[in-house]
Amino acid sequence: MDQTPIIGVFWDFENVRPANIYTSAFNVQLALERALPNISIDITAYGNTYNLLPHHKLPLYDSAIRLVNIADTQPSAGDRFMMKDMFHFALVNMPPSYVILISGDADFCPTFTALHDLGYTTVLIFQPGRESKLLRNLSDHTFFWDDMCKGHLVSPISNDAILRLAQRIDRVRPFEPPAYLGKIGGVANAAF
């Protein structure tokens, strides 16, 4: 039985905030649905959402974007919470699931490396000039944030990246945990 791929989108709302929240929230969802039709997409935005006025939250809710409030004053508190949720998503949804990060923060480099090693496809959506070059290089696919806010996914690498991404979803890869996770009773230990 083939598993339907699931797309987990983790949006660092503190670092990548749309200029126009009304149209951008709808277009983020629309761009992903156009690029990956018939795929379950789960979008979560992380940040200090108490600063958002209620009429700014409504477009996010209407676009089925979950908001997670990170009220901690430490600068990397939101990043740590997002990383925990990324690994939780990975435990619940086996490959060929995709992890999409909307950020450019270099703090996510170890997380992207681990998820890639576990067989997940990692996608980075970033604002040009505000992304970590290492994070961009670690990602399987990269896209511009400004294009996504307009309802399009345009790859800075090539124009046919969307087609290749959709083709990769159609191929179901068997899950093979990396050797460093070891084996317990003949079954690979996938716990982190």
Q: What number is the average pLDDT over the span 101-113?
A: 93
Q: Is the pLDDT of residue 122 over 70?
A: yes
- CA dihedral in degrees (53, 21, 61, 84; nearest 10)? -90
At residue 48, the pLDDT reads 82
Q: What number is the average pLDDT over the span 39-46?
A: 87
Nearest-angstrom CA–CA distance, 123 and 172: 17
Domains defined along the chain, listed by start = 6-173 (3.40.50.1010)
At residue 117, the pLDDT reads 92
Q: How do residues 159-185 score in pLDDT, each as one tens digit?
A: 354 455 555 544 444 445 455 444 444
Residues in the chain: 192
| DSSP letters for 20-39 | SHHHHHHHHHHHHHHHSTT-
φ, ψ of residue 21 to 5 degrees: the values are -65, -30
Q: What pTM was estimated for this model as a whole? A: 0.75
At residue 189, the pLDDT reads 39
Q: How do residues 131-153 score in pLDDT, each as one tens digit?
A: 889 999 899 888 888 888 877 76
Residue type, 5: P
Axis-axis angle for helices 21-35, 54-62 (nearest 10): 10
pLDDT bin (cut points 50, 70, 90) of residue 32 is confident
At residue 57, the pLDDT reads 84
Report the percentage of the chain scoring pLDDT > 90.
23
What single-letter DSSP state applies at residue 130? S
pLDDT bin (cut points 50, 70, 90) of residue 2 is low
